[in-house]
Amino acid sequence: MFVSRLIAVLLTSSLAVGTAACKKDTPDPGVEVADDPRLLAEDGTDSAAAETDTEVLTSSLVSATAAGGSVSLSSTDLSGGTLGAAGAGAKAIYRPKGCLTVTADAPAKTVTYVFAGCLGPNGLGRLTGTLVATYAVADEKLTLDIVGTDLTLNRSTVDWTSHAEITASGADRQMLWKATLSGTTARGKEFARTNAKTVTWRYGEKCFGVSGVSEGNVRGRYLRTEIANFKRCQGTCPEAGGRITIANKNDKVKVEILFDGTSAATYTGPRGSIRFDLACQG
């Protein structure tokens, strides 16, 4: 459950610092304000945070299992197909008590979650709305098809549909995630986007890796965010070789953040490259 939130926190802090460090990186005369690299980085940050919160919410529904165990939905007793003791455990991770209502439909293999001002794991807060998850379990794979309606997450508002496949191989975990999302960011910017990501981690370790692409509109203009080879352990800096790239249509304007394993990263925009500090320990 910690995996996605760490991504959101680092993406937000890294891009925000990078944007602040590039205040002199202004567009050429005649370039639309929408193509300002500073706004490009800001919009990429805002939309990535909203998108990642949906992954946080999804990951909170996946039970923690020991090495060698199968992954499952933490809110249902899959062996019996009905809501059981595990359901109480799912509700226990959201506060205040009673803010989350969980209803299972065993024949349909669906679970409906209704949030009312919940605080959740890994910084997920101000959570209100309805989530319906349809699940299937086979061997070492949990498949989730999710519809989120009128959800408020950390001041963002999101409607989304997603398909997630979570697999286990010994202690290794992997989530293949595809989603279509629309709504407004925490700063009120409208977005409509799709994303496809792969998130990996190991049971018992607070480390993760993520790669993938998110694209679509933010404030009515196209924006593409790519995360490549990003790996990090909690309390440490990203490993060398990770990269985050944000670009507008046809790559007319592009900004990039490259990690080298230290407590600083390199921001590259249309005006060149600079180094900036990260909120981590190298």
Q: Does some domain include residue 247?
A: no
pTM of the model: 0.77
Three-class secondary structure assignment of 97-155: CCCEEEEEECCCCEEEEEEEEEECHHHCCCEEEEEEEEEEEECCEEEEEEEEEEEEECC
Question: How many domains does the chain fold into?
Answer: 1
Q: Does some domain include residue 192?
A: yes
% of residues, the chain, pLDDT over 90: 33
Tens-place pLDDT, residues 119-172: 987 678 889 999 999 999 887 788 999 999 999 998 999 999 999 998 888 778
Q: Does some domain include residue 175?
A: yes
Q: Does some domain include residue 198?
A: yes
In this prediction, residue 126 carries a pLDDT of 85
Q: Does some domain include residue 236?
A: no
Q: Does some domain include residue 210?
A: yes
CA distance 9 to 215: 20
Tens-place pLDDT, residues 63-99: 655 555 567 776 544 333 333 333 445 677 889 989 9
Q: Does some domain include residue 95?
A: yes
Torsion over CA of 130, 131, 132 and 134, rounded to 10 degrees?
Answer: -170
Q: Does some domain include residue 14?
A: yes
Tell me the average pLDDT across 24-42.
57
CA distance 237 to 261: 6
CA distance 162 to 179: 4
Residue 25 — very low, low, confident or very high, per pLDDT cuts 50/70/90? very low
Tell me the average pLDDT across 170-198.
92
Q: Determine the structural domain holding residue 222 and report its residue range.
A: 2-231
Quote the tokens at residue 230. Answer: 């990003």
Tens-place pLDDT, residues 202-256: 776 777 788 999 999 999 989 999 989 988 887 788 899 999 899 998 888 899 9
